[in-house]
A and B are shown apart, each in its own frame.
Chain A
Amino acid sequence: AQSVTQLGSHVSVSEGALVLLRCNYSSSVPPYLFWYVQYPNQGLQLLLKYTSAATLVKGINGFEAEFKKSETSFHLTKPSAHMSDAAEYFCAVSISLGYSTLTFGKGTMLLVSP
């Protein structure tokens, strides 16, 4: 069975500051890991995914995440926050890329102030 823990239901940063959203996972098999973002009134959009090819994964909009097996973590970062990054972010795990259901964390709302 898989599980995901996202630390912090809300994270506040200033525009231009580093964004760090934390995700820890538990999986009995080598996991596939995902970060999704949900903007208001929109569906979940895939930011990036870890598929065991490389531990540092680059996604859209300047986000990246690093898979650390020893820490069972997959934290999401962005060097400089933009106002448009304000949204809810979800970390998810599955045992395969296709055919497999996603197990989500509770989500982290990112607030960006001017």
Chain B
Amino acid sequence: EAGVTQFPSHSVIEKGQTVTLRCDPISGHDNLYWYRRVMGKEIKFLLHFVKESKQDESGMPNNRFLAERTGGTYSTLKVQPAELEDSGVYFCASSQDGLFYEQYFGPGTRLTVT
């Protein structure tokens, strides 16, 4: 069974540019989460999809971040325009529906904004 995949693995962009990160969850997982780790800090929750609906987006830092989940399958996280403080590793995780299923994480996308 394929795990959670993320693309790209690394991205280096200039301040003011736009970047789109993609996450493909494990097939059949209705829950999809985005987390971010800024260097030296803890991994922090950004948002949670259940199928194509945003269940919780309380962790999104500001309106420069836009997440979508097309048809309840893959998800994208767009940062527009990117700022220096957006640099970090963005993790995606997915889980099955229900109270007892753990989250499986992807390898992350390392974003560097210069």
Residues of A at the B interface (CB closer than 8 Å) are: 4, 34, 36, 41-46, 49, 51, 90, 92, 96-99, 101-107
Residues of B at the A interface (CB closer than 8 Å) are: 3-4, 31, 33, 35, 40-45, 48, 50, 55-56, 59, 91, 93, 95-108
A99–B99 CB distance below 8 A: yes
A101–B3 CB distance below 8 A: no
A36–B48 CB distance below 8 A: no
A105–B101 CB distance below 8 A: no
> How many angstroms from the CA of A66 to the CA of B46 in the assembled complex?
29
- Which applies to chain A's interface (DSSP): helix, strand, loop or mixed? loop
A42–B99 CB distance below 8 A: no
B45–A43 CB distance below 8 A: no
Given A44-B91, A97-B102, do A107 and B31 touch, yes or no (CB 8 Å)? no
Given contacts A44-B91, A104-B43, could you give 13 more A-B pairs where the C-beta distance is less than 8 Å?
A: A43-B104, A43-B107, A44-B93, A45-B105, A46-B102, A92-B43, A96-B99, A97-B99, A97-B102, A98-B102, A102-B43, A103-B45, A106-B41
